[in-house]
Structure 1
Amino acid sequence: MVAGQANYLTEYENPCSDVPSQGMHVHLAELSAALTRAGHEVVVYTRRESKDGPDRVRSARGYEIVQVPAGPLKRLSPSETASAMGEFGGFLEREWRERGPDITHAHFWLSGVATQLATRSLGLPTVQTFHSLGTVEHRLRGDGDPETVSTDRIRIERLVARGATRMVATSSDEIFELARMGLPRTRTTVVPCGVDAEHFRPTDPTDPPRPKRKRLVTAGPLEPTSGFDTVIEALAAIPDTDLVIAASRSPELSARADEQEKSRLTKLARARGVHGRVRIRRDVSPAELPVLLRSADAVVCTPWHDPSGTTALQAMSCGRPVIASATGSMLDTVLDDATGLLVPARSPEAVAGAARRLLSDATMLTTFGIAARDRVMARYTWDRIAEDTVRVYERCVPVRRTAHRTARIGV
C-alpha cells in the first residue's frame, strides 16, 4: 500500500469530536489521524444521531467523517443499533459502488455487520477489529447479570469473524478467544492499542508538587468489572498510602447504577477502615489525567478483563510503573518485573503484596518507570500502531485484486 490510497474505517457510534473521550472512540480517532499523517486517505463512517452537523466534514486532524442516515436520530444502545445496520450497509454499498476503497476496516461487531453487507457484492477486502468479544463479556458478567451479552451477539461475531478477509486482535489473549470461536490463527494479526506519548509524558513543568504521602492511582469506568473494589480492599494492607480513583461514567450502566456503584465502593472503603485514604474523583478531564497519573508512585490496573490496556499504557507513557491484572492486553503490555508487576485478577492480597514491594524500593520505582516509558516509545505510539495496521492492509489488498480477476473470468 502506498501513500495516497484510501483506507476506510467504519464505526457504529458517533465519535462526536476529533478526540473522543474514551474507549474505542479514542482508538478510532487516533488511528485515523496517524494514518492520515502517513499520507493515506481516511474516511470514518458513523451513524447520524441528530440533525446537527453536516453530512460530511473534514476533521481538524485531516480525516473525513461521514454521518450516515440509518435508524432514528437519537443515541441508541447496541441492541437498538443492530436494527439499523441493514440501512447503514446499504448506504455504504451505494457509496462504495461509485468509488470503492482499497480497504475497509470495521470496528466493533455492529460495524462488521454493516461493512460485510456492503462489501459482499463488491469484492472489497474487509478488516475487522472487535475491541471486545461477546464471549468474554458473557463469561465475566454471568448468566444472572441483566447486562449479560446476548447469544445473538456471540453468534453474529462468529459470522463476522469468519467473513472478514483478516481479523485484527488487540492482544494475544484475544487471539486465543478467536481460535475458540473457530477462526484460524493464520487469519489473525495482533495490533495493540496505542497511546498519545506527547500528551501522556513523564514530566511537565506546570505539574503541582508531588504529594508527600505515597499515592496509588487507578482509573476507568465506574462499574464492577473495573476492579476498583480490589484496590480498595488491598489498601487496608498497604500502610501510609493514599488511593485516588479517576472514575469515568460507564457506557454500560445507567446513571442510577453508576451512583449505586460509587456508593458500594464508598461503603467498602468504610468497612475496610480506609475511607480517609480513598478519594473517588469524577472530575478528571482528559487534559488532567496525565497530571494525576504523574502524581502517583505507581498506577494500579485491576479490571476483571481489559481488551485494550489503555490505562496501563497511559501510565507507562507517563513513566510510572504499573501493577496490573494478568489478563487481556495487559499480559502483552506490562512486562512483569521490568515495567511493572502482574498479579492474578481480583486478588487484593496479590495487589497489596505487589504495592508494598514497589513502594518500599525507590530504585525499583524509578527503573520500572524508565523502562515503561521506553517500551511505549518503542512499541505503542499511534504512528507505530498505524504502521502495523497498514501492514495488515497490505496483506489484504492483493486478495481484492484476485477476487476481481476471478469475477471477470467468471463473467
Structure 2
Amino acid sequence: MKVVVLTTSYPRHQGDVAGRFVADAVERVRERGVEMRVVSPQQFRHFGIAYGSGVVGNLKRRPALSALLPAMLASFALTARRAARDADLVHAHWLPAGAVALATGRPYVLQLWGTDVELARRAPWLARGILRRARVVICASRALAAAARELGARDVVVIPSGVDIPPHPGEEAEPPEILFAGRLSREKGILELLQASEGARLVVAGDGPLRRQVPQALGFVPHEELDRLYARAAVVACPSRREGFGVVCAEAMAHGRPVVATSVGGFLDLVVDGETGVLVPPGDVRALRAALLRLLSDRDLRRRLGTAARERARQHFSWDRITERTLAVYADAA
C-alpha cells in the first residue's frame, strides 16, 4: 500500500518539535511495510503561514497573512497532486490539509487535532464538505469526535496519539519538581500555573508569546532532553483551557508520572481522576494549587498514581496498539 501524508507541520531537522507526533506516527506505519510519502511545508511554499505559532496562531497574530492563504493552499495542492498520482490513500492531518486531499481526487482520511475544529466552527459550510467526503475522520479524543460529528463527519473513529513506554521510570529530583512542557500561551494555562506553583520548584520547557512572563523557561527542548525532564519530575502539570488530545499528558503517564490536568477535551480520555492523576476545573488557580501541593507532599500517593498512569499508557496508548488501529483504518478506507 502507498499512502501520501499531507501535513502543515512536520520536523524540519533533528530535534525539531514541530509536528513531531505526526512524524512518529509516519515512522511506525512505515516500519510495518507501508510506503509513506510526506508532503509538508518543506515541499511547498507556505509564505510564513506554517510553523511558528501554527497556521491558526500565525493567522491570528498576523491577519495580513490571510491574503496569502490561497497561494499557500494552491502550492500545497499542486505538490500533493503530484505526490498522490499513484497513491492508494491520502492521510491529511488538520482540516486545511483535508481541503488539499480533496483536490487530489484520491480517497482520503482526515485527522483532526483540535485547533482545526476551532477553524471549522468559523466556516462550517466549508468544513462540512471536506469532512463528509473523507472516507474516515480520525480524532485523537472523544471530545474531538463529538465535535467532528456535529460538523458533519460521517464515519468517525477515535485513535489517540501513541507514546513510547520507557523501560523503567526515572528517579525523582530532590527537592521534588513540577514540570510543564508546551507552548507558552494563554490557552495552555501557563499563567494560572505560575500562580498555582508559587513557592514550589517549577521547570518549564517551552516557548511562545508569553515567554517574557516566564523568564525561567528553557525554550523548546529536544525530545531526548524532555525525556530526562519527565524522568526527574515529581508531578507534570497540564493546565490547558482546551486540549484536543494532550501528548505531554500521555508522555508523562508513560514515564510513570502523576499528572494534574484540567477537565477538558482529551485529558478526560487520558486521566482517570484519583487513579492515574488529578483533574481540576480549567482556570481554577486555587484547585490547581491544592492538587499540586497535595501530590508534592505525598510521595506514596505520587508513586501509586504514577504506577497506575504508566499501566494505563501501556494498555491504551502504546505505539504498537495505535499503529495497529491506524493500519486497520487504512485497509478499510483504501
**Given the two structures, how large is their TM-score scaled by the length of structure 2?**
0.86
Structure 1 Cα separation of the partners of residues 312 and 160 of structure 2: 13
How do 1:270-289 and structure 2 match up within 5 A?
279-282=216-219, 284-289=221-226
Tell me if the contact between 1:105 and 1:128 (Cα under 8 Å) persists in the aligned partners.
yes
Tell me if the contact between 2:29 and 2:323 (Cα under 8 Å) persists in the aligned partners.
yes
One-letter amino acid of the counterpart of residue 313, structure 1: A
Tell me if the contact between 2:7 and 2:40 (Cα under 8 Å) persists in the aligned partners.
yes
For structure 1, the residue ranges without an aligned partner over 5 or more in a row are: 49-66, 140-150, 204-208, 251-257, 267-278, 398-411
Tell me if the contact between 2:242 and 2:264 (Cα under 8 Å) persists in the aligned partners.
yes
Tell me if the contact between 2:113 and 2:144 (Cα under 8 Å) persists in the aligned partners.
no
Question: Which one has a bigger Cα radius of gyration?
Answer: 1
Tell me if the contact between 1:71 and 1:81 (Cα under 8 Å) persists in the aligned partners.
no
Structure 1 Cα separation of the partners of residues 269 and 81 of structure 2: 37
Name the structure 2 match of 1:228.
Answer: 190
Q: Does residue 325 of structure 2 align to residue 376 of structure 1?
A: no
Name the structure 1 match of 2:60.
Answer: none
One-letter amino acid of the counterpart of residue 259, structure 2: V
Q: Does residue 255 of structure 2 align to residue 318 of structure 1?
A: yes
Tell me if the contact between 2:256 and 2:307 (Cα under 8 Å) persists in the aligned partners.
yes
Name the structure 1 match of 2:164.
Answer: 196
Tell me if the contact between 1:82 and 1:110 (Cα under 8 Å) persists in the aligned partners.
no
Tell me if the contact between 1:18 and 1:29 (Cα under 8 Å) persists in the aligned partners.
no
Structure 1 Cα separation of the partners of residues 321 and 279 of structure 2: 25
Structure 1 Cα separation of the partners of residues 81 and 213 of structure 2: 48
How do 1:340-359 and structure 2 match up within 5 A?
340-359=277-296
How do 1:388-407 and structure 2 match up within 5 A?
388-397=325-334
Structure 2 Cα separation of the partners of residues 395 and 378 of structure 1: 24
Q: Give the CA deviation at 1:347.
A: 0.9
Name the structure 1 match of 2:112.
Answer: 130
How do 1:22-37 and structure 2 match up within 5 A?
22=18, 25-37=19-31
Tell me if the contact between 2:15 and 2:222 (Cα under 8 Å) persists in the aligned partners.
no
Q: Give the CA deviation at 1:36.
A: 1.2
Q: Give the CA deviation at 1:294.
A: 1.9
Name the structure 1 match of 2:270.
Answer: 333
Name the structure 2 match of 1:263.
Answer: 212
Q: Give the CA deviation at 1:211.
A: 3.6
Q: Identity over aligned residues, as a percent?
A: 26
Number of residue pairs the alignment of both structures matches? 319
Structure 2 Cα separation of the partners of residues 93 and 284 of structure 1: 35
Q: What is the aligned counterpart of 1:212 among 174, 187, 205? A: 174
Tell me if the contact between 2:230 and 2:257 (Cα under 8 Å) persists in the aligned partners.
yes
Q: Give the CA deviation at 1:20.
A: 3.9
Name the structure 2 match of 1:108.
Answer: 94
Name the structure 1 match of 2:144.
Answer: 174
Q: Does residue 49 of structure 2 align to residue 76 of structure 1?
A: yes
Structure 1 Cα separation of the partners of residues 117 and 93 of structure 2: 17
Tell me if the contact between 1:134 and 1:157 (Cα under 8 Å) persists in the aligned partners.
no
1:117–1:137 CA distance, 2 compared to 1 (3 A) = closer
Q: Give the CA deviation at 1:18.
A: 6.3
One-letter amino acid of the counterpart of residue 109, structure 2: V
One-letter amino acid of the counterpart of residue 337, structure 1: G
SS at match of 1:27: helix
Structure 1 Cα separation of the partners of residues 310 and 275 of structure 2: 11
